[in-house]
Chain A
């Protein structure tokens, strides 16, 4: 496919369970972003990768959140010991290798996480 894909599209987890969310960016896109979007809110930045390097993880809400992109392509966002407040849509976006990386981010469909 030509776009950013994410899986799973929906995830229901019991409180305390670990989850892993996957993002496949557009081929050739160097930059990859993870966002958390609560209902009725705009996306909140979580973390940013340039190739395999995680250049900014300042938006990760706690040390239960961990993201990786070991080969500079697919990325995984892992949430350990999920809590109810983690329930949200998690969006992944990628963009071209440009010094204005923000110019146009292509978003995936998101993963809706519900923690019971």
Chain B
């Protein structure tokens, strides 16, 4: 059965710290992996990764995919309190153009 596992489930750090969130997957017919940030209720799209070893970067956030070891990491440097959120990882299958398999998320809390 396809699954996406995120770790840690929750993380508390201080402002300015760097964090690394993990997402591992076991999905047949992998096509892409997506990261979302969920504050309050609506997830917002961060990155889509399809190729191994190519880092996607947006400001203080970056992400990379390892298709051989079946995982992705999301890095946040110089964290700010506004980074506090649940970070969701989802995997898209090549044989479905609309269904995503979601992880349970990592709840990140940034203390001032």
A: residues with CB less than 8 A from B are: 4, 31, 33, 40-45, 48, 55-56, 89, 91, 99-110, 112
CB-based A-B contact count at 8 angstroms: 58
**7 tightest A-B CB contacts, nearest first:** A42-B102, A110-B41, A107-B42, A109-B41, A104-B45, A109-B42, A107-B43
Tell me what chain A mostly uses at the interface: helix, strand, loop, or mixed.
Answer: loop
Contacts of A43 in B (CB 8 A): 43, 88, 100, 102
| B100 in contact with A102 (CB, 8 Å) | yes
Contacts of B45 in A (CB 8 A): 104-106
Contacts of A101 in B (CB 8 A): 97-98
| B90 in contact with A107 (CB, 8 Å) | no
Bits for B73-107, please: 1 = Cβ < 8 Å to A, else 0. 00000000000000010101000011110111100
| A42 in contact with B103 (CB, 8 Å) | yes
User: Nearest-CB distance from A57 to chain B (Å)?
Assistant: 12
CB nearest neighbor in A for B10:
A40
CB nearest neighbor in A for B9:
A40
User: Nearest-CB distance from B51 to chain A (Å)?
Assistant: 15
User: Nearest-CB distance from A60 to chain B (Å)?
Assistant: 13
Contacts of A110 in B (CB 8 A): 41-42
A42, A44, A105: residue with the most chain B Cβ atoms closer than 10 Å: A42
Instruction: Determine which of B34, B42, B97, B104 lies in contact with A41 in the assembled complex, contact meaning CB atoms within 8 Å.
Output: B104
Contacts of A103 in B (CB 8 A): 48
| A31 in contact with B98 (CB, 8 Å) | yes
User: Nearest-CB distance from B36 to chain A (Å)?
Assistant: 8
| A89 in contact with B41 (CB, 8 Å) | yes
| B40 in contact with A109 (CB, 8 Å) | yes
Answer whether residue B20 sits at the interface, using C-beta atoms and an 8 A cutoff: no
Q: How far is the CA of A110 from the CA of B97 in the complex (A)?
A: 23
Contacts of A100 in B (CB 8 A): 97
